[in-house]
Structure 1
Amino acid sequence: MLSTRICKIALVASVALFLFIVVLNNAIFDYPSNYGFVHHVLAMDTLFSGDSQSWRALRDPTPDDGSWWFYHIFYATIIMWEAAACVLCTVGAWKLWRNRTAPAAAFAAAKKLGLIGLSVSMLQWFVAFITVGGEWFLMWQSSTWNGQDAAFRMFACLGIILLFLNQPDE
């Protein structure tokens, strides 16, 4: 029983660590390249279908017209979403750790923030990357800026962890 709980705690904590590194990369260490990803997806400038869906694109803002801030705000929203999931998983893992030897009902109650954090992260990968980026901005058509495989991989990994965490503990 304790070993299963430790596994659940370790997985939630590992997601928190992953998200922490993602936030550091996106916000500090590699802002330009990840911002470039967002820029190209929103601009829809590397699609094979040409201009048939270009009305959806948010094209080439320039600092002169002030619209370039939209790209940065969009990207900052992604980073804040990742940071929120990171905090939820971190606090969730801590609550799980504190209740690792508690009765089943207390450990089950401690799962709440971990489950919410995992769900928030899953929603980001599914809504922001697979749905909005992948389908609305047709990211799947870009050979250079297609993040759907990575998004699905993250969605699936997080989903498996969420299912495992949500299993009842005896």
Structure 2
Amino acid sequence: MAETRTPHTSPALPVAATLLVGTVALYIALVAFGNITDFGTNQQFVRHVLAMDTTFKDDDLMWRAITSQTVQDSAYVAIIAWEALAALVLIAATWLWARRHPRARQLSTVGLSMLLLLFGAGFVAIGGEWFAMWQSKTWNGLDAATRVIVLTGVVLLVTHLRGAAPEDS
């Protein structure tokens, strides 16, 4: 009878998952904090992207522009709320990873998916394509959004590696 072997997993993998989730939690908490304490800076970013006032002003696209400051500011507040909620979820997930709790991976997946939705669907797809943010030399956040997507995606992959979470042991 052949011997059944379980693949060796490094004890460092759960530590790496904890530190990586904690890093993203810290990052998005600081982003939300910055958006709250320096509300006007990124408020202008959101207003210009939605207004499409620094794009090529193609008549075939400009009908998409949102010029109501009330709607623009509501969108910005919704972004900040989403960031803050994702930060809280990821802080809780980090705490669960540190305690080797079996729900750590699940909560991390929720928080990381929230960020992938915000930066992928929100900034890249809606901001970048629908509102043609890619056309703006001044108000183009696609590089920053891509960096967040890559970091978040890598962390999501690490947390799902066999041996990272307590239930894998």
Once the two structures are TM-superposed, the CA of residue 122 in structure 1 deviates from its matched residue by: 0.9
Structure 2 unmatched runs, 5+:
1-9, 164-168
1:167 is matched with which residue?
161
Aligned partner of 1:20 among 15, 29, 38: 29
Once the two structures are TM-superposed, the CA of residue 49 in structure 1 deviates from its matched residue by: 4.5
2:4 is matched with which residue?
none
Higher Rg = 2
Once the two structures are TM-superposed, the CA of residue 56 in structure 1 deviates from its matched residue by: 0.4
Q: How many residues align?
A: 155
Aligned partner of 1:117 among 111, 116, 125: 111
Residues 106-149 of structure 1: CA deviation (Å, up to 9, x unaligned): 54x42110111011111110111001101110000001001111
1:142 is matched with which residue?
136
TM-score (norm 1): 0.86
Structure 1 unmatched runs, 5+:
62-67, 100-105
User: What is the Cα-based RMSD across aligned positions, in Å?
Assistant: 1.3
Once the two structures are TM-superposed, the CA of residue 72 in structure 1 deviates from its matched residue by: 1.4
CA contact (8 A) 1:49 1:141 kept: no
Structure 2 CA distance for aligned equivalents of residues 52 and 146 of structure 1 = 20
Residues 63-106 of structure 1: CA deviation (Å, up to 9, x unaligned): xxxxx22111100000011111111110001011111xxxxxx5
Does 2:3 align with 1:2? Answer: no
The amino acid of 2:83's aligned partner reads E
Aligned partner of 1:41 among 49, 54, 63: 49
2:89 is matched with which residue?
88
Percent of counterpart pairs with the same letter? 38
